[in-house]
Amino acid sequence: MTREQKKRIFDIIQIGDRTDFASRNFDVFITLVIVANIAVLFLSTFDSLAAYRGLFDVIEWITILIFCVEYLLRIWTADLLYPHLPRRKAVLKFMFSFDGVVDLLTILPFFFLMGASAFRMLRVVRIFHLFRINAYYDSFNVITEVLADKKNQIISSIFIILVLMLASSLSIYSAEHEAQPQAFPNALSGIWWSVSTIFTVGYGDIYPVTSLGRVMAVIITFLGVGVVAIPTGIISAGFVEHYQTMQRKNKVAMENRRTVCVDVDKASPYLGMRVREIEEKIGVDIAVIVRDGSVMVPAGSMKVKVGDSLLYLNSRIG
């Protein structure tokens, strides 16, 4: 196969090139295959649909075969995805990238469904290929960007929740052990109760019967409402900050005369690169990307595609 034919296959299997009819239809086709595979996974668990089990198996085999072919094609064209790397390093970089790992997790569980029940638990791993649908819509990357920006605050709030869980478990053990030795045999036995109480789920399978235990349950419930709300508030604030940043960058990029616009075509060295990689390579901050007539502030993990226009200020260029 010629280099041009290989490049054509690479262009088709790349995600989201709306200017290429074949590439766009391939995206839609893979999305439908993913949905069909997941649907069969769930429908095969219904006893009332046992008569269609053979059809489900056929669909499952076909969709997995398609995933295998796509994965092999992406490995084969990895040197075009990372043209600045030698072929072996490009293949390894793809295989250990997020997309490569998700693709592999899409395929492997299918071949381990037979045998011990422990291997059948790998069916759950197949759900990970729903992330492939996410890859077709860059707007979802905003969520990961917000979580990455606020990771320290989120980790701190989770640590507070864990401390409260342990303290609640120890406290309820002290209050309820003598009255309910089977329900609370040790200090860690109250973890399940503390989780359901802090998160205000209240399953009712374990509950305090002493007066002191009930008072503590009321206090812990009130504390839980406040503590669990902390990460929610942090994430909400992160979205507001991200939106304000988008508005500010959009305004600056559109009004500032020093804005540089770079159009990305199929010969562009930036094609397939992530925004963060481009910014590090040329030493600029990309303010907005114009894609299909829409103006968007790019997330660092967003990949550049054919037809994109990158707008950035040239103030950082020496």
Domain ranges of the chain: 3-136, 151-238, 256-316
CATH code for residues 3-136: 1.20.120
Average confidence (pLDDT) over 39-64: 88
State which of 100-114, 178-192, 197-211 shows the largest mean pLDDT. 178-192
Give tens-digit pLDDT for 127-168.
666 666 555 555 566 677 788 888 888 899 889 989 998 999
Q: Which pLDDT score is estimated for 316?
A: 45
Integer Cα distance of 313 and 75 in angstroms: 36
Would you say the CATH fold of 256-316 matches that of 3-136? no
Per-residue pLDDT band at 318 (split at 50, 70, 90):
very low
> What's the start-to-end Cα distance of the chain, in Å?
43
Instruction: Give the lowest-confidence range in 101-105, 155-159, 228-232.
Output: 101-105
Is residue 111 over pLDDT 80? no
Integer Cα distance of 143 and 36 in angstroms: 26
Average confidence (pLDDT) over 102-124: 63
Q: Which pLDDT score is estimated for 117?
A: 47
Integer Cα distance of 301 and 138 in angstroms: 9
Average confidence (pLDDT) over 83-92: 88
Looking at every residue in the chain, the average pLDDT score rounds to: 79
| Location of structure tokens 């206090």 | 219
Give tens-digit pLDDT for 272-285.
788 888 888 877 77
% of the chain at pLDDT higher than 70: 80
With contact defined as beta carbons under 8 Å apart, do 300 and 286 qualify?
Answer: no
CATH architecture of 151-238: Orthogonal Bundle (1.10)
Is residue 251 over pLDDT 70? no
CATH code for residues 256-316: 3.30.70.1450
Q: Which residue has the higher pLDDT, 219 or 204?
A: 219
Per-residue pLDDT band at 115 (split at 50, 70, 90):
very low
Give tens-digit pLDDT for 3-36.
788 888 888 887 655 667 788 788 888 888 888 8
